[in-house]
Structure 1
């Protein structure tokens, strides 16, 4: 079968014979296998397509004897100094002939059958109201999406119970109110724990997915923070309810010390391994920084808060190691938070506030300085009145308590600044600025 003369060999230097035929009608070639019988390699079958040529298929011109003009006429394009076609791909404009396609007379536009979308397009949905078009979801599918973020409920409830217990201005019934919050927190924690266990057993594989997910895994922190609030609440509402001479008080105090050391070990492992996993497996853009990225370091930071609450009732031999460990944990958490704050402020300066449904997370930034201020004062007050750090006869307790108070004031103002920034971010004037107009004075 003869080949179109527009197909030419890419490299003609192998052919020394003057009988070269670009149509593969070479007497020295095997037409069945497409290879040269004289020992030529398979590159003799490499062909390039040229735009066309003026020679009919029944002629066999000797290409090597062509002059430059003839070669250019043959390839219908430019050739180089050696007589071969130049690669002009991309060097000239490409013209595409456009043709309009006319619909057939019987063709009609497709009618939309998605009435919900048409209704939503006609009436935009208010995000602050329940969507009437949202389908009903059974308990099973909802349980599959029951995430670690639910533990922010017990984290907040337990925190309120602890704050009520440490209020300096007391009134009758204050401890009762705090105890109610403490019991409700235990009830919520048990319900959330049962739902999480049911989720992991009903849907195998969801536990691994939850701890490796780029967003849900960040909320492992609130689970441990809820445990921290339970420990501090137990100290305030259980341990301190016993008299110093009560026989049950001794083993409860020891149990609190054991719970502290177990908590510190687990949260330190969480801070190390979770951040290592995030660094290796996920990519977070700094222009999308959110304070929730701080959550894996929060649990170890609250080790200082736990130490500040339980150290005062511990024996002297166990008190100082707890205070030292709590100070180290607080320093680790707060230092990492300060490093993260640089990216946080940079994100706000570069791209502005997050989306309005995410702005509530900005209040997470208030936690590190406020927790640290509380821990400094609590650990300083837990020191003995005759504490001598260097053993030189000078009492260091008053000096350390003064430093703790000054540092706490320093950090409290920083926490207030972050709180006001978050409060303004979630205010209606930011959500709906078109409803508010500035009046020129």
Structure 2
């Protein structure tokens, strides 16, 4: 990648938007939903902290409620862009980087759905919480399927991609389906009708298969790209953590679905299915978790390398440090719960602390950028009038 790349944290004069509401709407892009992904997963992980800490549950609930407000605000802003600035908004379909972030919308919604089950049941009652979460999950699943197929089809037909410009951002639309699978696995125990629950379980396994094998294939290509073309530009440094997303969520889905299976399978007359799914869930989850160790270590090493070099300019891509780490942390805690092994409990606790520290850092920098207006930049609007590398730097 060219070393003359323009940093997204200090965009050129012609790319700095005004801070008025209308201009914010015109420049609003779906990569903002990565903030809801990171915020939501932190709330869910804090709720799994292995030691009793007074007030921590209330903090987790507060983050979840804040995330609902954040997701609602972002949805209104992005919907307003399509209504008010349709021609500018539709350019995203031709943008080879920004279109990947369509997948962030259903993934951000999934954290809210999971929160209704983790926090909403004691707050507003089981019936109401599940009554909200269940239809939202069906919507989330539909959006995930649309992103998982539609965005790759755009890559095949309209986008301009090259091996040297590839990053782990390619994973975002693909991973949404397995996030929906993990979310559905958490919904299953709350469904009263066993046959409906079995339908959701089978769909969750199908969603897993819709996403995980393809995502793992992308990781193979990403490995080749790193070997041939070395690390991406420092503005895309955070994308290295995205590899943990499909690995962590894939492991979490198998673990949760396996835990659901014994009781559900027995209730629908398939008693032999339960132990098989439970065993495969644990073995498969641990195997994927071990694979994630390699990518996690690589992300740490590459981040250190960037920091020791020219540093890491801030952009919204920094939210890529949070959600993938969050789902990998959730998978770690699921292994700890199902095996009772202290090793995974300790590792999970350490990852929760790391996740909280990263979230605080990224949230503070994002709030600062929002106030200054420097983060409201839509690369789709300036495509063709800026260096090609800038397209990758504004995520």
- Correspondent of 2:250 among 372, 375, 384: 372
Q: Deviations over 1:336-358 (max 9, x none)?
A: 11111121000011011000111
| Cα distance change, pair 136–265 in 1 and its aligned pair in 2 (3 A) | closer
State the TM-score, normalized to the length of structure 1: 0.62
| Cα distance change, pair 224–211 in 1 and its aligned pair in 2 (3 A) | farther
- Correspondent of 1:381 among 256, 259, 280: 259
- Correspondent of 1:419 among 266, 281, 296: 296
Contact 1:312 1:383 in 2 (8 A): no
State the TM-score, normalized to the length of structure 2: 0.69
User: Partners in 1 of 2:65 and 2:303 — Cα distance?
Assistant: 31
| Cα distance change, pair 386–239 in 1 and its aligned pair in 2 (3 A) | closer
Structure 1 stretches lacking a partner, 5+ long: 1-123, 243-247, 435-441
1:342 aligns to 2:224 (yes or no): no
1:263 aligns to 2:140 (yes or no): yes
- Correspondent of 1:237 among 119, 127, 138: 119
- Tell me the SS of whatever aligns to 2:96: coil
User: Partners in 1 of 2:13 and 2:148 — Cα distance?
Assistant: 42
User: Partners in 1 of 2:206 and 2:8 — Cα distance?
Assistant: 43
Match of residue 139 from structure 1: 19
| Cα distance change, pair 424–261 in 1 and its aligned pair in 2 (3 A) | same
Query: Paired residues, what number?
Result: 305
Contact 1:228 1:306 in 2 (8 A): yes
Q: Deviations over 1:365-413 (max 9, x none)?
A: 1111111111111112223447349968x65534432331221111112
Structure 2 stretches lacking a partner, 5+ long: 312-395
Once structures 1 and 2 are overlaid, which stretch shifts more, 161-170 or 343-352? 161-170
Residue 255 of structure 1 and its aligned partner are, at CA, apart by 4.0
Where does 1:177-256 land on structure 2 (aligned, <5 Å)? 177-241=59-123, 249-250=126-127, 252-256=129-133
| RMSD (Å) for aligned C-alpha atoms | 3.2
Q: Which of the pair is proportionally richer in helix?
A: 2
| Cα distance change, pair 272–258 in 1 and its aligned pair in 2 (3 A) | same
Contact 2:171 2:215 in 1 (8 A): yes
- Relative contact order (C-alpha < 8 Å, sep 6+): which is higher? 2
- Correspondent of 2:157 among 266, 280, 283: 280
Query: Considering only CA atoms, is the larger Rg found in Structure 1 or Structure 2?
Result: 1
| Cα distance change, pair 420–135 in 1 and its aligned pair in 2 (3 A) | same
Residue 429 of structure 1 and its aligned partner are, at CA, apart by 6.2
Residue 319 of structure 1 and its aligned partner are, at CA, apart by 1.4
